[in-house]
Amino acid sequence: MRVKCVICDQIETIDNDSFVAKRLRNRPIHTYTCKSCYDRITERTKVRLATGKFRINKPVLNEDDW
């Protein structure tokens, strides 16, 4: 299966039977990012987390005694 990275527009070939290919076929809202773009985003996110100014908003779970 030929896929195109949404960030750098690089075209790659992935296995048709892989999990990523199945996810892209069945749910069009999922997008593909190449390995280099994915690693770059991961590194920059870790750097932002280390600064202390970046917060991930997690849902607040209310515990009911009901």
pTM: predicted TM-score of the whole model, two decimal places: 0.67
pLDDT of residue 10: 92
* Higher local confidence (pLDDT), 64 or 51: 51
Query: Residue 5: which of 41, 43, 44, 31 has the closest Cα?
Result: 31
Give 15-59 pLDDT, tens digit per residue: 999 998 999 989 878 889 999 999 999 999 899 889 888 777 888
Q: Which two tokens stand for residue 53?
A: 């100014």
User: Taking the CB of residue 32, how many other CB atoms lie within 10 A of it?
Assistant: 19
pLDDT of residue 57: 82
DSSP-derived letter for residue 65 is: -
pLDDT (mean) for 12-17: 92
To which H or E segment does residue 44 belong?
helix 35-51
pLDDT of residue 61: 82
